[in-house]
Amino acid sequence: MPLSEHEQRVLEQIERALYADDPKFAAAVRGIDPRARQRRRYARAVAGAVLGLALLPVGIAVGHEEITFAGFLLALLAFLYGVTVWRRGPERARDARPLRVGGWRAFGRGHGVTRPRSAAGPKRGMMQRFEDRWNHRRDRYEGR
């Protein structure tokens, strides 16, 4: 949702005040490129996966199950981190919003009650969604 003109003006005023108060910090924050941050996160995920997969045969060869397990766990966590980074994407990394709750989940289609969101309608709170799901299940059970 784009910002209104008033919100854009307020944001510009805040930005100008930030530059006036602390120009070093403002320059450092402004210089962060979301795509570069995304590439660094991909590199971390790949490095963790490679290191974890390298620890697997080393642990087997040495005969330490702890090293093998640590390698597997590191590779698994690096893979999950990489998937999370990929799902967020560079444009969403800039927004710093959490991942979408409804619809697609981590490993498959969500089974909850979903409604199409209109751009004009207000966002509903978590408790309201829970209450709607509860009512839907109750109505389905009672055969309404």
Q: Which domain range does residue 112 map to?
A: 102-144
pLDDT at 80: 94
Q: Give the residue, 116 or 42, on which the prediction is more confident.
A: 42
3-state helix, strand, coil in the chain (%, to 5): 70, 5, 25
Q: What is the pTM of this model?
A: 0.45
Instruction: Decide if 90 is inside a domain.
Output: no
Residue 8 in tokens: 């854009």
Q: Angle, to 10 degrees, between the axis of helix 65-95 and the axis of helix 34-62?
A: 170
Q: Give the residue, 99 or 139, on which the prediction is more confident.
A: 139
Instruction: Decide if 136 is inside a domain.
Output: yes
Q: Is 110 left (phi over 0), alpha (psi -120 to 50) or beta?
A: beta
Confidence class for position 142, pLDDT limits 50, 70, 90: confident
Q: Give the residue, 58 or 32, on which the prediction is more confident.
A: 58
Average pLDDT, the chain: 77
Q: Give CA–CA dist 2/97, Å, rounded.
A: 15
Q: What is the pLDDT of residues 65-109, one digit of tens each?
A: 999 999 999 999 999 999 998 888 765 544 444 444 444 444 444
Q: How many domains does the chain have?
A: 1
Residue 124 in tokens: 């509903």
Above pLDDT 70, what percent of the chain? 72
Mean pLDDT of 43-65: 93
4: CB partners within 8 A, 6+ apart: none
pLDDT at 122: 62
Mean pLDDT of 45-51: 95
Mean pLDDT of 44-64: 94
Q: Give the residue, 2 or 52, on which the prediction is more confident.
A: 52
Instruction: Decide if 141 is inside a domain.
Output: yes
